[in-house]
Amino acid sequence: MDMKKLRAIVIIFLFLSVIIAPSINFTVVKASTDDELVEVTTQACGIQGYGDTSVKLTRQQYRDLQQYLVEFRARLNQTTTKEEAVFLFNEAVLELDKYRLLPKGMSVEQAHRLVIVGYQNILAMSRYKTRLSDYQLSNNSNFFCLVAGETNVTRLHGYFETGCSALSYFLFILYMFAKEPVVLLDIIFRLETIRNLCHKLNSIRIIGTGNIAFGTCSGTGGHIPPFYHYESAGGWIATQGLLGKKSWNGSFYGRLLPLATFDSYGTIYYTGAIGFLGIKLKQGDEKLFFLGSAFHVKIS
């Protein structure tokens, strides 16, 4: 082969290598990097005006975050006063800010006020402590409390959504005894549509959520009586409130049954906390970490 032609071929080959190789390397590195990232989403709950924040953490960052949550729980279990709990909650906000995981548009100061607003409620309502302590089921409850936890099978929903569910329950009872139930059944279906719409609006933060449900119950059709499948929530919940320090570990259900909400597919969600204000962290393992305050928590 002519030396000039050989030289030209080599130059062309080198030129193409310079152009193509970086793009190949970039693709490989990008794919490898994406596989190693874990997406974590933060939402503000019970308050409007703040957007969701989604951050992709490296595996090491994610492990560090998980380790912090383990340590946070251990230290929270060792607290004996509300002031110590407040300090840990404020510290947790700073830790989330380190990973850029505060809700969009929310400053550290605003996050501090949001998650500990229940502490002011505790001080304002302390005069009712003796009266609330007389409740027979107080071991499963706490009122006006700081609350934190990491659980699965957990859903947040709003007050209007819960109200639609309560009205649906009432109408369903009337439907069972009505001679001409067609109209009632149509109203129930319309309520279910409105309730599911409210849940979607809650999910995209157009309206605020205020309740947390732990555990579900699903009925299967085609059987009389129907078969029911219960799925408990799992993880841990810790509270510090009017009735002192209360915590739950392992498997549990929300026990505010009058406020249980259900969807149009026949799944009941057992409400365990009402009046929740705070931050929700959705992690890659489908567990929810929540930090804030609630008016009433009842777990069994």
Give the per-residue pLDDT at 35. Answer: 59
CA 86 to chain centre: 20
Whether 126 is covered by a domain: the verdict is yes
Give the per-residue pLDDT at 87. Answer: 94
- Alpha-carbon span 115 to 292, nearest angstrom: 4
- Alpha-carbon span 292 to 244, nearest angstrom: 16
Whether 32 is covered by a domain: the verdict is no
- Alpha-carbon span 289 to 281, nearest angstrom: 5
Whether 5 is covered by a domain: the verdict is no
Whether 13 is covered by a domain: the verdict is no
Tokens 């409740």 correspond to what residue? Answer: 135
Helices (H), 36-58: none
One-letter identity of residue 57 = L
Whether 186 is covered by a domain: the verdict is no
Confidence bin at 31 (pLDDT 50/70/90): very low
Whether 232 is covered by a domain: the verdict is yes
Q: Which domain holds residue 103?
A: 39-158+208-300
Give the per-residue pLDDT at 7. Answer: 46
Task: Give φ, ψ of 274 to 5 degrees.
Answer: -125, 155
Whether 77 is covered by a domain: the verdict is yes
Whether 12 is covered by a domain: the verdict is no
Across the chain, mean pLDDT equals 75
Evaluate the CA torsion angle 159, 162, 166, 171 in order and state its sign: positive
Could you read off the pLDDT of 184-219 as tens digits, one per residue? Answer: 666 656 666 655 555 555 554 434 457 899 998 876
Task: Look at the chain and report how many structural domains it folds into.
Answer: 1
Q: How far is CA 141 from CA 50, 145, 228, in A?
A: 30, 10, 26
Give the per-residue pLDDT at 147. Answer: 95
Which of the residue ranges 12-21, 76-85, 139-148, 276-285 would you say has the lowest mean pLDDT? 12-21
Beta strand segments in the chain, E:
37-45, 53-58, 141-151, 154-157, 211-220, 227-231, 233-241, 244-252, 261-262, 267-274, 277-282, 288-298
